[in-house]
Amino acid sequence: MADVRTVADLAREVAPKTEAGGALAPELLAAIGESGLFRAGVPANLGGVELPPAETLAAAMEIARGDASAGWCVSIAATSGLLGAYLPEDGAREVFGDPRSVAAGVWAPKGRGVSVDGGVVVSGQWSFCSGIGHADWLFAGFVHEKTLKVAAIPRAELEVLDTWHTTGLRGTGSHDCVAREVFVPQRRVLSVLDGPLGGGALYRFPVFGFFALSVAAAALGNAFGALDDFVGLAVERSPLGSSRTLAERGSTQAAVASATASVKAARAYFFEAIAEAWEAAQAGEVPVELKAGLRLAATHAARTARVVVSELYDLAGSGAIYDGAALQRRFRDAHTASAHFQVNAASFELPGKVLLGVQAQTEQL
């Protein structure tokens, strides 16, 4: 974690540069690459780090405390690395055998595949390809003979469209990617729904839950970063017409205490749910109730983070409204993160069904 904090400090320092460039600043990208965190989910037999979920997500959260876009790119790349265990061995080595290889992923079936000798021809367009600018591969979802599949496609065989012009998380460079009749050999085709082909406990940990947690880790780290930024502002800034700083006002003190309690409680529940599911994964299979708990903890964390950042932004007043203000970026990043389908308001419904014993489709828990 000492190395992670060094990366987080750098992420904070270059955050304006990351946002302005629409991609991780070059020096930050190099530091994360050297840390191995982009490959935290890649199986060890492929040269990956194969970190336990809590360690990967804690690292991403800490880096997001420096800058949400950086933490987001770390957690999404780590999630994509998990799919190394879903590929046939020869395909997995092709994708991840180079120790510098990094993958991005959009598993939504936005493409179509047609069978040909030795594989499939895939065409489609995928939105929200986070980190595609520094990725070597894209795991792209497609429909093939009425089944859902994922293809590992080299970035060089894709067209990357300049579409990521957004409110927040601008540094993730989550542009659209287009495949036009790209041949994908069978060794680079997998099914997320069928599960991994091998590997240890990390690959028995729910992959869809990990995906939701990766989004929430960035959102929660961003909220802790917003607290840092607000405290720095409050001890120096005095509201117009007041002789006291923001930090000296009782309303500010109560608000900061409440915000701190909220994000720390959300973080505690986040890691408690991970610990329970990880224990089950190490023993064998993770039951549906614990899978639902992961999704609930992720959604709760992301949405709590959004509320906390919004309250701090309001409390900062005019000190947060200008371009270049750290709290303005935190506010925009918080609202962009909480719009993700894995942690939006509707994502409470599925774990709620499980809790109530109502019939639910749990294949993607």
Q: How confident is the model at residue 241 (pLDDT cuts 50, 70, 90)?
A: low
Q: How confident is the model at residue 236 (pLDDT cuts 50, 70, 90)?
A: confident
Alpha-carbon gap, residue 77 to 79, rounded angstroms: 5
Instruction: Look up the pTM and report it.
Output: 0.96
Alpha-carbon gap, residue 95 to 326, rounded angstroms: 37
Region for 58 from its dihedrals, namely left if φ exceeds 0, alpha if ψ lies in -120 to 50, beta otherwise: alpha
The answer to whether 140 and 126 are in contact (CB under 8 A) is: yes
Alpha-carbon gap, residue 14 to 32, rounded angstroms: 13
Mean per-residue pLDDT over the chain, rounded: 96
Q: How confident is the model at residue 240 (pLDDT cuts 50, 70, 90)?
A: low
Alpha-carbon gap, residue 191 to 233, rounded angstroms: 48
CB-based contacts of 283, cutoff 8 Å, min separation 6:
none
> In terms of Cα–Cα distance, which of 329, 51, 30 is closest to 214?
51
Type and span of the H or E element at 88: none
Q: Is the pLDDT of residue 345 over 90?
A: yes
- Could you give the percent of the chain with pLDDT greater than 70? 98
Tens-place pLDDT, residues 188-218: 999 999 999 999 999 999 999 999 999 999 9
Residue 191 corresponds to which tokens in the numbers above? 């099914």
Listed range (145-159, 244-258, 300-314) with the worst mean pLDDT = 244-258
Cross-strand pairs, 177: 126, 160
